């Protein structure tokens, strides 16, 4: 059984639908990447799942954590899961840390709430966690305030705070976007190390396909509030089949220098208030036919264990003899 199972998750804000029925599973211990351009619904998926959206959001569908239903559950039940079995870290750590409390106190609060530790045990554990996430001289720095840490160190403190509940799943939402390149690499190494050492599962939300490839087992690609392709990292990176996934790859530089021209995806993600008919990617897709503007491709399992929602996927063959995945009307 999956640790988290999301089925037909839909979200609307003030009647405007932004998630169009997400199905997604996270197995115990696995690392799942969620990629897509800004506004595709990556964050909203998990904020909805964990009951963190504002009251104006309408959320339907099912989210179960080890069989326990969260959608429609009471606040206490959802809060017990959040911060306990599932923890989330965000792009900007400063917005989640309380500036007027020492980092130690903030970590201790989580330890006492989620693991029932007394004051002294929580203090010892807070120092251990700060040490584990690579804060030098943790014994002294546990008593400092957030502004006394650099941006990269604040993200490490956030990770320590997330680990305080000993989560089975850590959701990292663009955890390195606000950091410079060297620190980004260090935080990615830290997340990979923590996953190895604790065995927790991880959902890694990112624009950065390179980072996703380095630390995830599987990846889901989101476009305009839907999953358009998903599968294991190896095949997805070797032969991306959805033209959108392919576009994301073509838009990033290759470290091995095999690509000297980056090809941006022209156009922008559609405004949820004005969704195109048919396939939402069709207006930007180099392979779209008139049929794509009239019918919506469903996400379907493929032979190689991936899922794909496209009538004209990119073929592996260099000749590009493309074959529709579904019988099209004549
Ligand atoms: N509180 C809100 N009120 C209204 N619309 C919202 C709200 N939060 C998100 N949205 C809309 O929901 C859609 C999905 O947003 P979401 O933040 O999930 O995208 P994302 O893929 O995570 O993007 P990013 O990478 O920029 O974080 C967008 O159209 C966004 O404008």
Measured over the CA atoms of residue 145, residue 93, residue 88 and residue 14, the dihedral's sign is positive
CA 289 – CA 150 distance, rounded (Å): 51
Domain range annotation of the chain: 1-81+206-253+274-313
CA 245 – CA 239 distance, rounded (Å): 10
**Chain center to CA of 178:** 16
- Residues 118-163 have pLDDT tens digits of 999 999 999 999 998 999 999 999 999 999 998 888 989 999 999 9
Instruction: Give, using CA atoms, the residue closest to atom 26 of ligand 1.
Output: 38
Ligand 1 centroid to 250 CA: how many Å?
24
Question: Would you state the pLDDT for residue 265?
Answer: 86
- pTM comes to 0.89
Between the CA atoms of 224, 228, 233 and 234, what dihedral angle is there, to the nearest 10 degrees? -140
The ipTM is 0.97
CA 232 – CA 299 distance, rounded (Å): 16
Ligand 1 pocket, Cβ-based, cut-off 6 angstroms: 13, 18, 36, 38-44, 54, 272
Instruction: Give, using CA atoms, the residue closest to atom 28 of ligand 1.
Output: 39
Atom from ligand 1 closest to the CA of residue 207: 25
Ligand 1 centroid to 46 CA: how many Å?
11
- Residues 71-93 have pLDDT tens digits of 999 989 998 898 789 999 888 77
Query: CA nearest 312: which of 293, 209, 230, 268?
Result: 293
Atom from ligand 1 closest to the CA of residue 54: 1
Instruction: Give, using CA atoms, the residue closest to atom 2 of ligand 1.
Output: 13
Which residues of the chain fall below pLDDT 70? 253-261, 316-330
Please state which of the four CATH numbers 3.40.50.970, 1.20.58.220, 3.40.50.300, 3.40.50.20 is assigned to the domain occupying 1-81+206-253+274-313: 3.40.50.300
Question: Would you state the pLDDT for residue 152?
Answer: 87
């Amino acid at each position: 059984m999956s640790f988290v199972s999301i089925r037909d998750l839909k979200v609307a804000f003030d009647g405007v639908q932004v998630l169009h029925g997400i199905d997604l599973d996270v197995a115990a211990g696995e690392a799942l990447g969620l990629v897509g351009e800004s506004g595709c619904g990556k964050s909203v998926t998990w904020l909805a799942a964990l009951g963190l959206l504002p009251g104006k959001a309408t959320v339907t569908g099912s989210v179960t954590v080890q069989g326990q239903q969260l959608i429609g559950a009471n606040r206490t039940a959802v809060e017990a899961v959040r911060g306990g079995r599932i923890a989330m870290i965000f792009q900007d750590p400063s917005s989640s840390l309380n500036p007027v409390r020492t980092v130690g106190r903030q970590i201790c609060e989580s330890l006492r709430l989620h693991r029932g530790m007394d004051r002294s045990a929580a203090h010892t554990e807070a120092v251990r966690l700060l040490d584990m996430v690579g804060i030098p001289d943790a014994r002294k720095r546990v008593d400092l305030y957030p502004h006394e840490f650099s941006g990269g160190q604040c993200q490490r403190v956030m990770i320590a705070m997330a680990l305080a509940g000993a989560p089975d799943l850590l959701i990292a939402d663009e955890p390195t976007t606000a950091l410079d390149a060297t620190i980004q690499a260090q935080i990615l190494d830290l997340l990979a190390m923590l996953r190895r050492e604790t065995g927790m599962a991880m959902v890694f939300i990112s624009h950065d396909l390179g980072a996703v490839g380095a630390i995830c087992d599987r990846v889901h690609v989101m476009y305009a509030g839907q999953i358009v392709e998903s599968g294991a990292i190896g095949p997805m990176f070797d032969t991306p089949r959805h033209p959108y996934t392919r576009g994301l790859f073509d838009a990033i530089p290759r470290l091995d220098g095999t690509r000297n021209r980056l090809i941006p995806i022209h156009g922008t993600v559609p405004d949820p208030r004005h969704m195109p008919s048919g396939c939402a990617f069709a207006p930007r897709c180099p392979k779209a036919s008139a049929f794509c503007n009239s019918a919506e491709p469903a996400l379907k399992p493929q032979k190689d264990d991936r899922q794909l929602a496209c009538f004209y996927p990119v073929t592996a063959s260099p000749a590009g003899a493309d074959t529709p995945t579904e019988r099209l009307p004549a």
